[in-house]
Chains A and B, each alone.
Chain A
C-alpha cells in the first residue's frame, strides 16, 4: 500500500525549500505566506525552514559586509585631547582598552598630572559597564 510516510514528507519539504531558494536565486522575492499556503500538509515545518533560510542569509551577509555598529562600538575617541573637563586639561592618549580610553591630563587646581579614563558612549547606558567603571575607580 502506497501511503505517504515520513520520508516522503521530508522529501516534499526539501523540494519545496529548494524551489523557494531557486526562485530567489533568480532575483525574485516570493511572498513567504503565499508560498507556504501551497503546502497545507506541512505548512509550519516549511515556514520554520524558510525562517532558517533568512537567518542563514543574514549571517552570511554580515560576514562579508561590516556593520556600521561595529565601527561605532570600537570607535577610537581622541576627541577629548586639548579639551578641558572641569579642572582637567586633557593632554594626550596614554592607553586604550575594550572599556575605553585613558588620557594623560593636567589637574590645573592641584597642579599635578592625572590619568582620566573615558568609556565609549555606547557603554554609557550599560549598567554592568557603569558598575565596573565605578568599581575600577574606587579600587585605585
Chain B
C-alpha cells in the first residue's frame, strides 16, 4: 500500500512544483489535516495556548505546499514531516510577531482561561472545507483530539520521547544521541511514556 501512495504523492509533488493548481489542491486535501495534527502534537501546550485562531495554521499550510521549490520527495514520512516543519516555523514567526506587538496581560489571561474554546477552534480549523468530503484522516478527528489531549497531560520528558519516536520517526539510538542517554535508557523511557499515555487516552 505504502508504495502506491509514494508514487501518487511523488507525481503530485512534481506537478505542483510545475505550478499545477489541481495537484496542489489535492496535496492540500490529502495532507492538510495530517500536517495540522503533526504541528498540534509537536508544539508545546504553552505556545499552542497562545494561538487565538487556527486560520493562521491553514494559511501557513498552503504556503508550505507552495514552497515545494527544491524539495525532492523521498518517502511519505519525510514529506509530511517536512511540511509540518515549514508550517511550524511560519507559525513561530507569527507568534513572535504577536508577542512583540501585543504584550497585553489581560488578553493572555483571557486566552489561558478559555483553553477549551481554543481547543474547539483548533478542531474547527481541522474540519474539511466541505463536510461531505470523505477522508480517512478527517473521520478520525475525534480520536486525534483525544490523543492530543492525552499527550498534553504527560510530563515533558514523556511527551518528548513519544514525539521523537512516533512523530519524528527517530530510532532509540538517534534519540539517545540527542538526549545524551543510552538507546536502552530511551527504550525504557519510551515504554513508561507509552504506558502513561494509554492511561490518559480517552480519560481527558
Contacts and interface: CB of A to CB of B under 8 A. Distances in A.
A50 B198 contact: yes
**B: contact size bracket:** 35 or more
Given A14-B196, A70-B137, A64 B191 contact: no
Contacts of B195: 14-15, 17-18, 21, 49
B199 interface: yes
Interface residues of A, number: 44
Interface string A39-83: 000000000011011011101101111111111011110100000
Interface of B: 1-2, 4-5, 8-9, 22-23, 25-26, 29-31, 34, 37-38, 41, 76-77, 80-81, 128-130, 132-137, 140, 143-144, 147, 166-167, 169, 172, 187-188, 190-192, 194-199, 201-202
Contact of B132 (A18, A63, A76, A132): A132
Given A64-B38, A64-B169, 16 more contacts: A14-B196, A18-B192, A22-B191, A53-B198, A60-B166, A63-B34, A63-B37, A63-B167, A66-B31, A67-B136, A68-B4, A70-B135, A73-B133, A74-B26, A98-B129, A126-B134
Contacts, number: 132
A60 B167 contact: yes
B135 A64 contact: no
A120 to B, nearest CB: 9
Interface in A99-137: 99, 122-123, 126, 128-129, 132
Contact of B134 (A19, A57, A63, A123): A123
Contacts of A96: 22, 25
